[in-house]
Amino acid sequence: MEGMDALSRTRVVLARPSHPGNIGAAARAMKTMGLVDLALVSPRHFPDPDAMAMAAGAADVLAAARVFDTLEGALADCALAVGFSARERELSHAPSTLRDAAPSLIEATAEGRVALVFGNETSGLSNEELSRCQRFVVIPSNPGYGSLNLAAAVQVVCYELSVAARAFAAPAARERGAASVGDVEGLFTHLESAAVSSGFLDPEKPGRFMERMRRLFARARLERQEVKLLRGLLGALEKKKRR
Amino acid sequence: MEGMDALSRTRVVLARPSHPGNIGAAARAMKTMGLVDLALVSPRHFPDPDAMAMAAGAADVLAAARVFDTLEGALADCALAVGFSARERELSHAPSTLRDAAPSLIEATAEGRVALVFGNETSGLSNEELSRCQRFVVIPSNPGYGSLNLAAAVQVVCYELSVAARAFAAPAARERGAASVGDVEGLFTHLESAAVSSGFLDPEKPGRFMERMRRLFARARLERQEVKLLRGLLGALEKKKRR
């Protein structure tokens, strides 16, 4: 599986979320990255107006969210459950980093639904909850303060999976209307003659002026319209000088 | 530059943020990924108790944030300003994706401070603001709903930069106490004899039972303690059978 297909087979499971605002913000984070399947295990408050407010344009994800009494229930139809945590555990599986794990999580969607399991805001996943997961993934973070907000963690994980799934095309390069080599050479000729006629450049001792100009405009990768503007400006300056 | 050095030379600039909660959440997002330099351009409300509440353990980043009247002021001492946007613009630079851009942004910190510029929650960066940036980067997102929350966008960008900077080590693999080959072979011998003595396995027609068991336990990469537990269980089951 790849692309949107893989993401549509990926479920976000929030275990015992305390703040309904985080549930809504997580729904929004999911939808921006192409995920739609949200499961809640014993949320403290749900449904809730704060969840609605924070979901913004992802009200549909929130409305379709299912509530379970137990994590087992939320994972029953999944082929793989992945626990996320900021901390390492005594009894845990060996953790992998999000970047390293992402491609294999996308691959796993070919075998069935994949659940991404996030724990409570304050306490994270319990050891009991983590033991229901077959994999354990960490988001590397500042050892001095690694406490990502719950919805922020969901955003980062969904982003990483959408990149691994190649779900969204890179933005198309806008038609730049690149200037031709001839256009650019015309500009250089014009620039040099203007520099000479203005007295700025001594044609007997030109130094490296034109070389530097060529380097600058090569870096800038000029557009056709920009060459026109620059030549228009040069022309106007030359006329002014002659007056 | 790399690691924390690169991140300490990277500034987050929020242009005209409307909601103080987002300022606090952005400060938290930054700190979790090792960034500390926050600049605010004409925030609607700041300082504000909502910002403090959402900053959680990043109150220090918030307290050190500087407020500017203009984007120019916030960028004055920077070598490079990078504008972030969900949308493409008519007059914009050609955009690159966050993943593609991240390594070069980290490299650029060697030349001076790098500013990551985020626009207003509703309207994003204005064309005027974007024209103050030398680069334009997009976070690829769902074309049907690509509206990341402001602090969520800051979180994703800071995460991507911290990965590119190799700022935080991957979590150390816990000492697994892996079982030796001898331990595991002892288990297989024990398992096979128990299977035969229980009548489950016919030694004349063993089929592929042991081959399958070997494959299963090879995948599991057994720990020493687990081999002990399994052999203890086998021993107890054999005893029970004999009674």
A85 → chain B, closest CA residue: B171
Q: How far apart are alpha carbons B86 and B84 in whole angstroms?
A: 7
CB of A60 within 8 Å of a chain B CB? The answer is no
Give me the residue from A34, A100, A152 closest to B142, CB to CB: A34
CB of B88 within 8 Å of a chain A CB? The answer is yes
CB of B176 within 8 Å of a chain A CB? The answer is yes
Q: Which two tokens stand for residue A235?
A: 């022309």
A175 → chain B, closest CA residue: B94
**Nearest-CA distance from A197 to chain B in Å?**
33
pLDDT in tens, A181-225: 888 899 999 999 989 988 899 999 998 888 888 888 888 888 888
Q: How far apart are alpha carbons A12 and A78 in whole angstroms?
A: 11
Q: How far apart are alpha carbons B223 and B173 in whole angstroms?
A: 14
Contact (CB<8Å) A147/B32: yes
Contact (CB<8Å) A170/B97: yes
Contact (CB<8Å) A25/B152: yes
pTM of whole model > 0.90?
no
Contact residues, chain B, for A58 at CB < 8 Å: 145
Of the residues B159, B160, B163, the best mutation for testing chain A's interface (the one with the most A CB atoms within 10 Å of its CB) is B159
Contact (CB<8Å) A140/B31: no
Q: How far apart are alpha carbons B79 and B175 in whole angstroms?
A: 44
Q: With contact defined as beta carbons under 8 Å apart, do B42 and B69 qualify?
A: yes
Contact (CB<8Å) A168/B58: no
Q: Please determine, for residue A87, whether its predicted confidence score (pLDDT) is greater than 70.
A: no
Query: Angle CA(B144)–CA(A1)–CA(A116) in degrees, nearest 5?
Result: 75
pLDDT in tens, A124-160: 999 899 989 999 999 999 999 999 999 999 999 999 9
Compute CA distances B176 → A95, B217, B221, whole Å: 12, 15, 10
CB of B146 within 8 Å of a chain A CB? The answer is yes
CB of A57 within 8 Å of a chain B CB? The answer is yes
Q: Which pLDDT does position B30 carry in this prediction?
A: 98
Cβ contacts from A onto B, under 8 A? 126
Give me the residue from B33, B100, B149 closest to A141, CB to CB: B33
* Helix, strand or coil, per DSSP, at residue B40: strand
CB of A168 within 8 Å of a chain B CB? The answer is yes
Contact (CB<8Å) A32/B142: yes
The closest of A29, A61, A152, A166 to A106, measured between CA atoms, is A166
**Full pLDDT tens readout for chain B, 243 residues:** 668 899 999 999 999 999 999 999 999 999 999 999 999 999 999 999 999 999 999 999 999 999 999 999 999 999 999 999 866 565 556 789 999 999 999 999 999 999 999 999 999 999 899 989 999 999 999 999 999 999 999 999 999 999 999 988 766 655 668 888 888 899 999 999 989 988 899 999 998 888 888 888 888 888 888 888 899 888 888 887 555
Q: What is the mean pLDDT of residues A63-74?
A: 97
CB of B143 within 8 Å of a chain A CB? The answer is yes
Of the residues A28, A141, A160, the best mutation for testing chain B's interface (the one with the most B CB atoms within 10 Å of its CB) is A141
Domains and CATH numbers, chain A: 4-164 (3.40.1280.10), 181-242 (1.10.8.590)
**Nearest-CA distance from A167 to chain B in Å?**
8
Task: Kindly indicate whether the ipTM for this predicted assembly is greater than 0.85, answering yes or no.
Answer: no
Q: Which pLDDT does position B89 carry in this prediction?
A: 60
Q: How far apart are alpha carbons B196 and B215 in whole angstroms?
A: 19
Extract long-range pairs of A192-196: CB within 8 Å, 24+ residues apart: A194/A234, A194/A237, A194/A238
Contact (CB<8Å) B168/A56: no
